[in-house]
Chain A
Amino acid sequence: EIVLTQSPGTLSLSPGERATLSCRASQSIGNNYLAWYQQKPGQAPNLLIYGASNRATGIPDRFSGSGSGTDFTLTISRLEPEDFAVFYCHQYGTSPLTFGGGTKVEIK
């Protein structure tokens, strides 16, 4: 099983600041099948990034993904008030599919 480790656990930032979230895999993720989801309280997860760096439909360009192999990053260039939430990375290339433990981005 591919274990995904996200860091930090919590990120305290102010609106307008840059957020950098990390996701490290226990083994290389084939074809960079790595996605990022945003989840707000009481809501289902929403797909942001797939294939490590491709934005999903309707996702603003302040969200960007990068990385390959075992190290991946989600960057939010300038935080908007609606961006504060929990973010999960997810590998969908190997069964069992797995999720990281999440990074909470909170308002400082």
Chain B
Amino acid sequence: QVQLVESGGSVVQPGGSLRLSCAASGFTFSNHGMHWVRQAPGKGLEWVAFIRDDGSNKLYADSVKGRFTISRDNSKNTLYLQLNSLRPEDTAVYYCAKANGWLPVSWGQGALLTVSS
């Protein structure tokens, strides 16, 4: 069955950087686009970024464009999110999700990022 396991969540100071990882198993990772979606404490879902199966196309929400970078290593079945210039409003649980086309179909359990001094 599909398994997605996020890691790398932490407490980071404003202006800092962090890299989140998402280890995938149970499906052919290189055949699927992948998303990052976040959820601030007590709030709704916010789409963050998408990467195509071969990494050739990347999309970002305006709120993170220029600060976050999505990438993947198909040889390691791993998705990444590099987060730079972090702000308190980036505090959230970050979920990775397997996509069919652009549709998020399976989600990991999330990694908590807290941006605070």
Contact = CB atoms under 8 A, between A and B. Distances in A.
A96 B47 contact: yes
Interface of A: 1, 33, 35, 37, 39, 43-47, 50, 56, 88, 90, 92-93, 95-102
Nearest to B110: A44
User: Is chain B's interface secondary structure helix, strand, loop, or mixed overall?
Assistant: strand
16 contacts: A33-B103, A35-B103, A39-B45, A44-B95, A44-B108, A44-B109, A44-B110, A45-B45, A90-B104, A92-B102, A92-B103, A92-B104, A96-B60, A97-B47, A99-B46, A102-B45
B44 A33 contact: no
A76 B60 CA distance: 33
B102 A101 contact: no
Contacts of B62: 1, 96
Interface string B86-117: 00000000010000011111111110000000
A37 B103 CA distance: 11
B107 A44 contact: yes
Interface residues of B, number: 21
B11 interface: no
A96 B101 CA distance: 14
Contacts of A46: 107
A43 B109 CA distance: 7
A22 to B, nearest CB: 16
A50 to B, nearest CB: 6
Given A44-B108, A45-B107, A97-B47, A33 B102 contact: yes
